[in-house]
């Protein structure tokens, strides 16, 4: 009797758990390691919570999570965008980085290539494919927002960086550029007069581009790529405008400990750090030995996964080795090639378990390019940094870290080694940097729930409430001239004009009648 009862109970439990399983489509096709890590992090949390996840990716995992289906759309994308940013070109200022127009155009191509990939087309055109929710990475265009027309389900944008105007305008309204950082800006608030003007100009010109140039193009892409599939399924095609404004939520890879206390609408949920697993993976034996025995601490040096250190000019490599060799600390350098004539305290790793290294108590300093994942991991593990920003959001990430007081910035020039030497000395001899990063790390960890649990909660919340319409900002339903009360200004102006006109008429009348009286008198 008893075993049978438990058996029934187990089946009941299993089915009741299964009932809550949702089908979720994640689109994360940016061809970059850090983007893929964020996409895989979502898959990990959502499948663990029992959901069935399909991820559209250009960098498939060797071992996808159980319950996850990977769709590789990378063939063309990988060729289209060369993942490596060339260090030498940047040092010679050959690359004109961070241009909104360029970003819009390039990222739009990636979205189109993703949707047109045969593997993706198979899913879009198969009427048996059903989803309860779509999560897509926002990357400077909004084409994916058209997909709910096909699957008739809620839609979530995932934003990889700090909240900025391009993303906030989708779910609320434009933030004030006087104190909110633009996504491609190198400034960090409080702005000077010129910076404030610059930020305003960038927002206005960007909005112009969006409205007059990119929106019409996106509309056309929607009509060409998505609308025919909707028609084929026998559904009516909603306007793209309507869909773009019908976003349920933005999940942001941001947190107030890393960025600033930006005012956020209810439909923005900051979940930075969810990609970091609760249990840190143990270090490989040899590395553990090196770190354990580093009496004076370990300096970890990595320029990220996009930038290949082997592209560094030879004279810089030599001078870096010389500077590192003079340190009493142990240096772990993530580098793709083996360097001959290395000082004894410098170790080269082709592949580095970054989180496990940062988590080691002997890790005293992290020299980083300041990408968005490294910035999060720095705060998570509480290690001060020296930032050598190279492109994109790295500049604002590092500037912010310097302002927060746990970082120094060093420019990537031919004297980078000497500058590093000074910065290393400053940071390691002054305890204030470490103290500050530990404070921020405390703020980062002091949340009611972990970011991974929050991610799962909000995703389920959106599905359970049929799109979380209650979180939607009322600002979305008010046109810009009403927000600025321009209609009131117009009314006041008209009333005033009528009054003046009336007054003038009256005076004229009076004068002429006065004339009449005088004439009569004569």
Ligand X SMILES: *[C@@H]1O[C@H](CO)[C@@H](O)[C@H](O)[C@H]1NC(C)=O
The footprint of ligand X (CB under 6 A) covers: 148, 154, 238, 242-243, 246, 248, 466-467
Residue 15: CB minimum distance to ligand X, A: 27
Residue 482: CB minimum distance to ligand X, A: 22
- How far is Cα of residue 250 from the mean position of the Cα atoms in its chain? 10
Q: CA–CA separation, 216 vs 455, rounded Å?
A: 33
292, 362 Cβ separation under 8 angstroms:
yes
- Nearest residue (CB) to ligand X, 133 versus 390: 133
Residues in CB range of 168: below 8 A, 6 or more apart: 174, 175, 264, 265, 268
DSSP 8-state symbol, 140: S
- How far is Cα of residue 507 from the mean position of the Cα atoms in its chain? 65
Residue 466: CB minimum distance to ligand X, A: 6
Question: How far are the Cα atoms of 54, 101, 248, 280, 345 from residue 297, in angstroms, in the given order?
Answer: 43, 45, 47, 19, 11
Question: How far are the Cα atoms of 11, 22, 155 from residue 17, in angstroms, in the given order?
Answer: 10, 11, 24
Residue 224: CB minimum distance to ligand X, A: 19
Q: CA–CA separation, 64 vs 300, rounded Å?
A: 29
Q: CA–CA separation, 242 vs 227, rounded Å?
A: 13
Edge-to-edge strand list for the sheet holding 346-349: 346-349, 330-334, 298-302, 363-368, 385-387, 407-409
- Nearest residue (CB) to ligand X, 138 versus 301: 138
- Nearest residue (CB) to ligand X, 140 versus 151: 151
Q: CA–CA separation, 348 vs 301, rounded Å?
A: 10
- Nearest residue (CB) to ligand X, 284 versus 466: 466
160, 251 Cβ separation under 8 angstroms:
no
Q: Cis (ω within 30 of 0) for the bond into 423? A: no
Residue 236: CB minimum distance to ligand X, A: 10
- Nearest residue (CB) to ligand X, 148 versus 252: 148
Residue 124: CB minimum distance to ligand X, A: 17
- Nearest residue (CB) to ligand X, 24 versus 291: 24
Residue 238: CB minimum distance to ligand X, A: 4
26, 135 Cβ separation under 8 angstroms:
yes
Residue of minimal Cβ distance to ligand X: 467
Q: How many residues does the chain have?
A: 522
Residue 114: CB minimum distance to ligand X, A: 21
Q: CA–CA separation, 372 vs 258, rounded Å?
A: 10
- Nearest residue (CB) to ligand X, 242 versus 277: 242
- Nearest residue (CB) to ligand X, 53 versus 463: 463
- Nearest residue (CB) to ligand X, 189 versus 238: 238
Q: CA–CA separation, 141 vs 217, rounded Å?
A: 10
- Nearest residue (CB) to ligand X, 136 versus 365: 136
Residue 142: CB minimum distance to ligand X, A: 14
385, 368 Cβ separation under 8 angstroms:
yes
Edge-to-edge strand list for the sheet holding 268-270: 68-72, 52-57, 23-28, 133-137, 155-159, 249-252, 268-270
Residue 169: CB minimum distance to ligand X, A: 18
């Amino acid at each position: 009797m008893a075993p049978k009862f438990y058996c029934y109970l187990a089946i009941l439990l299993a089915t009741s758990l299964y009932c809550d399983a949702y089908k979720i489509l994640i689109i994360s096709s940016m061809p970059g390691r850090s983007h893929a890590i964020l996409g895989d992090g979502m898959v990990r949390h959502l499948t663990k919570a029992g959901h069935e996840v399909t991820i559209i990716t250009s960098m498939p995992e060797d071992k996808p999570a159980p319950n996850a289906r990977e769709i590789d759309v990378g063939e063309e994308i990988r060729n289209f965008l060369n993942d490596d940013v060339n260090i030498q070109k940047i040092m010679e200022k050959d690359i004109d980085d961070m241009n909104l127009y360029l970003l819009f155009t390039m990222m739009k191509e990636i979205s189109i290539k993703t949707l047109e990939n045969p593997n993706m087309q198979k899913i879009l055109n198969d009427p048996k494919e059903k989803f309860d929710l779509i999560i897509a990475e926002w990357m400077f265009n909004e084409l994916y927002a058209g997909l709910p027309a096909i699957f008739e389900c809620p839609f979530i944008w995932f934003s990889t960086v700090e909240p900025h105007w391009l993303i906030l305008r989708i779910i609320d309204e434009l933030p004030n550029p006087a104190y909110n950082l633009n996504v491609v800006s190198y400034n960090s608030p409080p702005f000077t007069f010129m910076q404030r003007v610059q930020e305003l100009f960038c927002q206005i010109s960007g909005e112009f581009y969006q409205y007059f140039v990119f929106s019409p193009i996106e509309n056309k892409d929607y009509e060409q790529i998505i609308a025919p599939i909707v028609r084929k399924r026998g559904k009516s095609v909603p306007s793209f405008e309507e869909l773009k404004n019908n976003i349920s939520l933005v999940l942001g890879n941001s947190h107030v400990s890393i960025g600033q206390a930006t005012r956020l609408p209810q439909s923005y949920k900051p979940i930075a750090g969810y990609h970091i697993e609760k249990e840190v993976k143990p270090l490989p034996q040899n590395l553990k030995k090196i770190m354990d025995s580093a009496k004076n601490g370990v300096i970890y040096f990595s320029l990220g996964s996009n930038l290949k250190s082997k592209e560094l000019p030879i004279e810089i490599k030599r001078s870096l080795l010389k500077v590192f060799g003079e340190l009493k600390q142990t240096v772990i350098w993530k580098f793709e090639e083996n360097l001959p004539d290395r000082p004894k305290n410098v170790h080269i790793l082709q592949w580095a378990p970054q989180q496990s290294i940062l988590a080691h108590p002997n890790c005293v300093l992290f020299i980083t390019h300041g990408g968005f994942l490294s910035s999060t991991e720095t705060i998570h593990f509480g290690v001060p940094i020296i930032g050598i920003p190279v492109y994109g959001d790295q500049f604002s990430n590092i500037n912010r870290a310097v302002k927060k007081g746990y970082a120094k910035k060093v420019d990537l020039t031919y004297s980078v080694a000497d500058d590093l030497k000074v910065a290393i000395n400053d940071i390691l001899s002054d305890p204030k940097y470490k103290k500050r990063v530990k404070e921020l790390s405390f703020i980062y960890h002091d949340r009611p729930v972990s970011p991974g649990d929050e991610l799962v909660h909000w995703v389920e919340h959106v599905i359970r409430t049929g799109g979380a319409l209650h979180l939607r900002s009322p600002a979305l339903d008010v046109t810009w001239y009403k927000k600025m009360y321009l209609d009131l200004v117009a009314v006041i102006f008209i009333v005033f004009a009528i009054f003046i006109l009336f007054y003038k008429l009256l005076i004229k009348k009076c004068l002429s009648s006065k004339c009449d009286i005088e004439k009569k008198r004569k």
